[in-house]
Amino acid sequence: AALASSLATVALLALPGTVIHLLLGHIDWQLTAWLALGVFPSTYLGSRLALRLPTQLLGKLYGLFLVILALYFAYTEVTV
């Protein structure tokens, strides 16, 4: 329940900024559509997989993912 409450709070706090960027025309709708095509099915499949994996394995996989991500950002020049 705490995680769901936290996520709901984050979503509500992000809403005003999202509306402002929408009104200013800062949203790339083509990119948004492509992201949605991958995000929605991946979220569904990932949640189903997470429920089937043992908790310890899931934690180790998540830790490995974070290490790989940290190494990527440490050795890659990221420009905005």
**Residue 80 located in a structural domain:** no
**Residue 69 located in a structural domain:** yes
Under the banding of pLDDT at 50, 70 and 90, the label for residue 80 is low
CB 46 within 8 A of CB 52: no
**Residue 31 located in a structural domain:** yes
The predicted pLDDT at position 2 comes to: 84
**Residue 53 located in a structural domain:** yes
**Residue 15 located in a structural domain:** yes
Q: pLDDT digit string (tens) for 17-70? A: 999 999 999 999 999 999 999 999 999 999 999 999 999 999 999 999 999 999
**Residue 60 located in a structural domain:** yes
**Residue 52 located in a structural domain:** yes
> Which range of residues forms the domain containing residue 40?
2-75
The predicted pLDDT at position 60 comes to: 96
Does residue 6 have a pLDDT over 80? yes
- Per the structure, how many domains does the chain have? 1
